[in-house]
Structure 1
Amino acid sequence: MRVLIVDDEVYAVEAIREMVDWEALGIGEVISAYSMKQAQKILTEKPCDILICDIEMPRGSGLELLSWMREEGMDTVALFLTSHANFNYANRAIKLDTFDYILKPADPAEIQKVLSRAVEKVEENRVQKRRLEQAGYWDDSAVQRMEEFILRVADGRIPADREEIFRQAGLSHLSEISLDGEFYPLLIQLRAETEDEKEWGKGLVEYGLKNILSEVLSNLQKNGVEPLIPQLAPRYYATFVPQDGMDWEAFIALCQQALSACLSAMPCAVTFYPGRLSAVEGFAAETESLLKLASDNILYDNTLYAPASIEKITEEEGTWQKVLDEGADPDELGTLLDRAARGGLLTRTYLRRMFVRTQDYIDRHSIETPPGGAVSDIEQLQATASLDGMKDWLARSLSRVPERELDERQDTRDVVEILRRYIRGHLNEELGRNELAQLVYLNPDYLSHIFRERVGVPLVDFITAERMKKARELLLSTDLPIRDVALAVGYANISYFSRQFKRAQGQTPLEFRKSAGKIV
């Protein structure tokens, strides 16, 4: 096994050479380079298994070197050892599939440990490569380019404009890809990781998933191109199935066939999320919707999961409210939860809506204030994270409500306060006017009118302002990546979030962090 150390500081290279027990790691050759150019020459002549590289060097950075290596098709396991704790460096390093990123000065034992894992990764890659070769499976570069293009459409990096998408496809020389007609989107989520999956390894799991889906979907693809199944995020994959006269029932049957094949062959739990028929310009919106649906799923593994109709959820809410009004029996509410679970309704959104209704009932009926004051965010998270968590919370909280009748009518002040509290507690969710109106049993137009009258701003502007306020807090008080901040305030599309933030703040999220001194 061969290792290349790259650093413009000679003493740093020598220090690493001396502090590591190479023989114990099974590494037979250690090569040194002191610039990007030297490293490129060595890598061209001698493929290296592991790269240890400084990031900031005067004649070409470590990131530029790794980018060049990836463009050249080198799968070297890369480890950055640097004194620069910079968000941009870490972000770019992750995108280039860096194995690890350690700050100087590093403890020798830590470096030895990380290198030991890197050696294991090299061996794992070799085993997987041999298995893939034996299976006769190699990703064609054209397929990789097409998957990357579809990924850019699905995650919004290419604007959701039909002409622009076709123009970009032409610029990328993707004549094989068919973008005409309509497609059924399908999101595939690998659920909780299992020990069997760890033994398989990430590469083999991905190969197995793609191979199964390709077999099921291959007859539907156009121009002889195999199905495109890009990875949206860790453990999330997507494909877009051409309609070609196939109705919804036939599509669901096809999904069930693919799911059954996955469950019989894959080492982990898999859930499929089928989406609505869409043209290519709708891919980003549908992908965002399906990702939100997946994040809402708390119960359903190894299944084909589609959202319940809003009418059904509203009907269940009405039943829930009726039980509250008739005495709020926790056992009866628990029975409703069990029924919702059997009917495919039990999601985080469902539990949150029932939580808000129940908490409002408690607030209006309780004589005493619960210990610690108002319900905490942690208590709400625990209650809405699982079926058992909700049942436990109901049993505890409803015991504080005395058995007495109160006027159930709410004036407009109550309605507006309920909405403001709900919005602030659910910024990471879809907050449409119709859904909010159903929450308080009001006509959407009337709700908008009284909200603006009481608050002084339109409902949609209030929601956006609250999201931007929360985003500013997270950007200043945490080190969360920009994408995670966007998700936390209800934006699955990071580009759209950045535009909204700049419109409100006058700066992009990254510029805002920099101006506040959060990024060096």
Structure 2
Amino acid sequence: MYNLLIVDDEEIAIKGIVHGIDWTDMPLQHIFEAIDVEEAKIIFQNNPIHLLLSDIDMPNDNGIALLQWVREFSPQTETIFLSGHADFKYAQEALKLDSFDYLLKPIDHDVLKTTLRLAIEKIQHNEEQAEFHKTYQYYYQQWNKQLPILCERFWQDLLQQRIALGNESLGSSFELYDIPLDAGNPVQAVLISIEQWREQLNHRDEEIMTYAVKNAASEFVLKDFEGQVIQDTSGLVIAIVYNPSEDALMRLEENCRSFIDKCQMYLHCHISCYIGKETKIQELRNGIQTLIEMERNNLTHSNSIHLEQDYIKQESTTIGKSIFDEWALLLEMSKKNEWIARIEDSFRRMKEEQVDHLYLESFYYGFVHMIYNTFQKMAVRMEVVYPNGEWREFTQVSKSIDRMKTWTIWMAETACAHLVDNRKEVSFVISKVMQFIEEHLGEEFSRDDIASHVFLNSAYLSRLFRKETGESLSDFILEARVNKAKQLLEGTNNKISDIASTIGYDNFSYFTKMFKKSTGVTPQEYRKKFQDI
């Protein structure tokens, strides 16, 4: 609904319009009246006015002056002028101020009503346009907020080969995401490798700090360059320089050095940068794969800068099986110091030979396999020695020779310590076995159940039990059950069949047989003998 203001210095003229027209079919909420410009301004200041119907020739301020004020105060108001004479000067001024229409008195009410309808239609159209513009502006602002994310997703899709690489397709994407590139422009990539955090971080903290590194790369690596820093789907941080200049490589080296220093100082991490060659956009993925290969094979230099143009691919060497056979023997014998010395010697040679990532991967899996096989022979479970699954940390420990060395020595020391402690505390294990048997006499259980309780191989447990106690595990179980049966036969009047069930024998005949084998008499004879005493 809309509000109409009628302004005329002749009150009778206002009343003629207000009462002479049937307004019931018009979308009007209020019709306000004013006899001069000052009164009209007061009404404007206190009410929203959509339609202004004003006499143009009034004493003091005229309709033109009022319209000039309305254009400033309420620019959305549509104005229709009324005039008692056809003065071209007034009409010209009204047109300049963009009034909706100019009608001559006496006013034909039907013509006035039609003109007001047209003015309302224009207001409605303007409101729709304003609402559309408001909606557009909202989503335009949202789009601009999301633009960095959308740009990053575009580069991720490009590197994952999920978008077409034709010039037309690239050109459309660059225009859509406001990327200042043409399809034929070159780009240059910098792989940012986060080698190590100096603080202990959980997964969430690491994600937050990686985000901080990414922002720092935008500030320092791309300093004075147009470009984008992205994180690919595998977590790699990559800076992409748009249309690099001739001196880009030199400037990028300087920027990367500053970036590495800042990350060490403020973000507490070790970082290396791998700067690629200038390349076509269509070849960017291959270029980044080369940088990843450089990173994988850099096992000795931390906080460093590496150039693709200087990269020479080395032939992979292989690790011999005999080294692990020797180490397995040292582990079995728990010769920790000798084993650690051999490990350190092996890693010294790795550094001298500058082995690649493939060699380190081969070493890792060979080492883990050796420990697993050795433990299996000794009836030791990996989960017991390494409860946090430390043998599964290939991704982290394979980033450098030093990391792999630290991890290998820790694994070796932990393994030896467990074996030594296990030998010292065998009696503790046996006591746990005896306690388990005592607590489960009334249940069916197997040797495997007991072994699982103490995390040992069942065959190894049997050997260990005999070595510690001088009797077999099965004999001990029988003896424990018979002793319990004796107590019940002596101290209760329970049925013998119930006593048999209480100590885990559901078969009464079998219980009688085992009891007699152990005591030389049947349960009935034992109870009678005890009662006769």
The verdict on a shared fold, with TM-score over 0.5 as the criterion, is: no
Higher-RCO chain (CA-CA 8 Å, sequence separation at least 6): 1
Q: Which protein shows a greater Rg? A: 2
TM-score, normalised relative to structure 2: 0.34
Normalising by structure 1, what TM-score?
0.35
